A and B are shown apart, each in its own frame.
Chain A
């Protein structure tokens, strides 16, 4: 029996679990738990450890499919999957959600995180959700990977459709498995698994502020536009609102003068007996959070980054 392995990674909601479910001949192992953070903005459950499935290609050949959790706080599992379970995988599939505000940020992030892993095997960038948001397009992704100096294949896929996900597997495996009847495999898994309805479930149920409030320790949130205008807010205390606005104003002022040192990504003020106020800027918008003092900055940063990735431009999805 020839055993091949493929590792799927990507941000929360990129479609890793769905892709593996679409392909697998066995009941997939998934480690979903109720989402307790910004993920609830997109779905009720999220993978916390790994996804696993098996696809039979022929009587003597099969592919083991591994999926990482999307959230960075479970990145210890990324390491475990890359170094142990899938250390001998034939390729890495990076699923990129095209509805994210800046999908290329995800590409850059995962390419950096899996840099060593990618150097030793093939990389497929599989773009999902392009039925909802067609841009950026194929050529934009090619330009992105060229800029990053990567050798990668870009594919636009609908992970609900087993046949299109199979095309990723075919792209990776066909070079080493010449005898596989891919059309037959495609028909079989389509019969067996059908089209996944995962993305047709009612999603995007929560607003940006609701999602922020779902995080432990967050007491209030405010969404600001480019001109410091309040797009939405549930912070009642005027003192905090004024301070946060002044922080955003400061960030904009520095942005105009600080070409030599880089962009301001966040400003945080705190103290021993006060709530922490933080402002995370992102091009034309900012997310301001009021939180308990014990919430760590790295956690706040990741939550804010995720929230801003699904922000203004995608709010039509809400």
Chain B
């Protein structure tokens, strides 16, 4: 999983990232000084996507601007959320496009693992 995060972090787009499964952090590139952001992201996206599921809604991404940062959560597959932290001023489309690329790699890796 941590290899995937290496591909997620990108200068000027995504500063830190982590993978969430429910309330558990599977892997993280959040530095110690950014652990507060990781904790908020974990609780917030868990709450948001729980509500989305409860309402039978189809939303699969959430963004939360806090202070000068933006935390974005993307559902990669059921129960697995990729969290990315960017500067608030960073274009959200860049984050989305980059995550879409990473998601492809992630899914490919899953398929490869199943076929192996």
Contacts and interface: CB of A to CB of B under 8 A. Distances in A.
B51 A243 contact: yes
Contacts of A257: 40
Interface string B40-72: 100010011001100111111111111111000
Contacts of B47: 246, 250
A269 B50 CA distance: 13
A239 B62 contact: no
Contacts of A270: 59, 61-63
User: DSSP majority for the A interface?
Assistant: mixed
Contact of B51 (A246, A262, A264, A296): A246
Interface string B80-108: 00000000000011000000000000000
A266 interface: yes
Contacts of A247: 48
Interface residues of B, number: 25
A263 B55 CA distance: 27
B36 interface: yes
B52 to A, nearest CB: 7
Interface string A58-100: 0000000000000000000000000000000000000000000
A271 B64 contact: no
B59 A271 contact: yes
Given A246-B51, A250-B48, A269-B48, A264 B57 contact: no
Given A243-B55, A246-B51, A250-B47, A265 B60 contact: no
Contacts of B36: 258, 260-261
A271 B48 contact: no
Contact of A269 (B40, B56, B59, B67): B59
A195 to B, nearest CB: 43
A270 B93 CA distance: 13
A243 B52 contact: yes
A65 to B, nearest CB: 33
A274 B59 contact: yes
Contacts of B61: 269-271
Contacts of B69: 261-262
Nearest to A259: B36
Interface residues of A, number: 27
A267 B68 contact: no
B62 A297 contact: no
B100 to A, nearest CB: 10
Interface in A176-202: none
B63 A239 contact: no
Given A243-B51, A250-B48, A254-B44, A265 B59 contact: no
Nearest to B61: A270
B66 A271 contact: no
Contacts of A258: 36, 40, 66-67
A239 B40 contact: no
Contacts of A268: 62-64
Nearest to A278: B63
B63 A265 contact: no
A261 B38 CA distance: 11
B46 to A, nearest CB: 10
B57 A262 contact: no
Interface in A258-298: 258, 260-274, 277, 296-297
A249 to B, nearest CB: 9
The 8 A-B pairs of least Cβ separation, nearest first, read A262-B67, A269-B59, A271-B60, A271-B59, A246-B51, A268-B63, A269-B62, A265-B65
19 contacts: A242-B51, A243-B57, A246-B47, A246-B51, A247-B48, A250-B44, A250-B47, A257-B40, A258-B36, A261-B36, A261-B37, A264-B65, A264-B66, A267-B63, A269-B57, A269-B63, A271-B61, A274-B58, A297-B63
